[in-house]
């Protein structure tokens, strides 16, 4: 369960979200939808603990108030945020990056266990590649350098498979998503729901979200929740448009 209680956000004195409260159910896929500038991306970044935001209110994740937790601590507790624009990072290999983030996760969650060897870790990662339509050679490439939009999204899905988070926030994940990657994402959401994960899809693309298995919808405008409902609200948005909310 993710509970937001009286959340307000601002940047350099400019208010973006004011007194927002909502609960996202465990094991459900929720859509947060709104036009650009509605505050939906700012909300997802604030949940993840982005330092640029001045935040008040409480963020309760899995029964714990994480409002004062650093971003890396929130990640170790099981929160994953997929970024809208994934940067290319030359000089850092994908395998080394995955090993580093997994080691941090492992030390935090299993402090009494010995870290696994690089050889065993690589074998473990390679077993996760086929369902994502990735090949082992990706592991030897620089981090996201020269990757297509669909490949970047698959690497994010690989990170989710590796870290096994409880809460997954996908921010404008349809950006650069090809047909094959979309199908992979749809299948992954089905599997995540079977694993009782909480999923937040942040988007303004109604055609994209219609293809997904959505349980609940939150419509945002000007930093506030305008309307909530079940998946039928997607059809209403398609018929009358977001501007009507």
Give the pLDDT band of residue 148 (cuts 50, 70, 90). Answer: confident
Residue 244 has pLDDT above 80, yes or no: no
Q: Which phi and psi (to 5°) does residue 104 adopt?
A: -60, -45
Domain 2-244 superfamily per CATH: P-loop containing nucleotide triphosphate hydrolases (3.40.50.300)
Question: For residue range 30-49, what is the model confidence (pLDDT) as tens digits?
Answer: 999 998 889 999 999 999 99
Say which residues have a Cβ less than 8 Å from residue 160's Cβ, sequence separation at least 6. Answer: 80, 168, 188, 192
Q: If you average pLDDT over every residue of the chain, what do you get?
A: 91
Mean of pLDDT values over 124-147: 94
The residue extents of the domains of the chain are 2-244
Residue 74 has pLDDT above 80, yes or no: yes
Give the model's pLDDT for residue 90: 94
Residues forming beta bridges with residue 17, ordered by sequence position: 9
Contact 17, 42 (CB under 8 A): yes
Residue 99 has pLDDT above 90, yes or no: yes
Mean of pLDDT values over 11-30: 93
Q: In angstroms, rounded to a whole number, what is the distance separating the alpha carbons of residues 130 and 112? A: 31
Q: In angstroms, rounded to a whole number, what is the distance separating the alpha carbons of residues 134 and 233? A: 35
Q: In angstroms, rounded to a whole number, what is the distance separating the alpha carbons of residues 107 and 79? A: 16
Mean of pLDDT values over 169-181: 80
Give the model's pLDDT for residue 202: 93
The DSSP code sequence of the chain is -EEEEEEEEEETTEEEEEEEEEEE-TT-EEEEE--TTSSHHHHHHHHHT-TTSEEEEEEEETTEE-TT--HHHHHHTTEEEE-SSPPPEEEEEHHHHHHHHHHHHHHHH-TTSPPPPHHHHHHHHHHHSGGGT--GGGGGSEETTT--HHHHHHHHHHHHHHH--SEEEEESTTTT--HHHHHHHHHHHHHHHHTT-EEEEEES-HHHHTTS---EEEEEETTEEEEEEETHHHHHHHHH-GGG-
Q: Are strands 64-65 and 54-61 parallel, antiparallel or unpaired?
A: antiparallel
Give the pLDDT band of residue 13 (cuts 50, 70, 90). Answer: confident
Reported pTM: 0.91
Give the model's pLDDT for residue 242: 81
- Residues of the chain above pLDDT 70, percent: 100
């Amino acid at each position: 369960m993710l509970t937001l209680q009286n959340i307000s956000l601002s940047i350099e004195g400019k208010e973006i979200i004011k007194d927002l409260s909502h609960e996202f159910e465990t094991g459900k896929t929720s859509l947060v939808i709104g036009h650009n500038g509605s505050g939906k991306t700012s909300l997802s970044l604030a949940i993840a603990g982005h330092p640029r935001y001045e935040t008040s209110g409480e963020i309760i994740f899995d029964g714990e108030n994480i409002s004062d937790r650093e971003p890396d601590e929130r990640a170790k507790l099981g929160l994953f945020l997929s970024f809208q624009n994934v940067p290319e990072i030359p000089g850092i290999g994908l395998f080394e990056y995955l090993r580093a983030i997994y080691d941090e996760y492992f030390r935090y969650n299993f402090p009494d266990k010995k870290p696994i060897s690089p050889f065993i870790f690589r074998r473990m990662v390679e077993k996760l590649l086929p369902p994502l339509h990735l090949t082992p050679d990706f592991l030897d490439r620089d981090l996201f350098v020269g990757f297509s939009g669909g490949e970047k999204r698959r690497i994010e899905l690989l990170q989710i498979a590796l870290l096994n988070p409880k809460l997954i926030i996908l921010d404008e994940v349809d950006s650069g998503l090809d047909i094959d990657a979309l199908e992979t994402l749809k299948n992954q959401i089905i599997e995540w729901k079977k694993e009782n994960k909480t999923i937040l899809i942040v988007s303004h693309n109604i055609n994209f979200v219609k293809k997904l298995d959505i349980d609940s919808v939150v419509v945002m405008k000007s930093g506030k929740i305008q309307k909530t409902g079940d998946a039928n609200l997607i059809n209403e948005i398609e018929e009358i448009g977001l501007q009507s909310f």
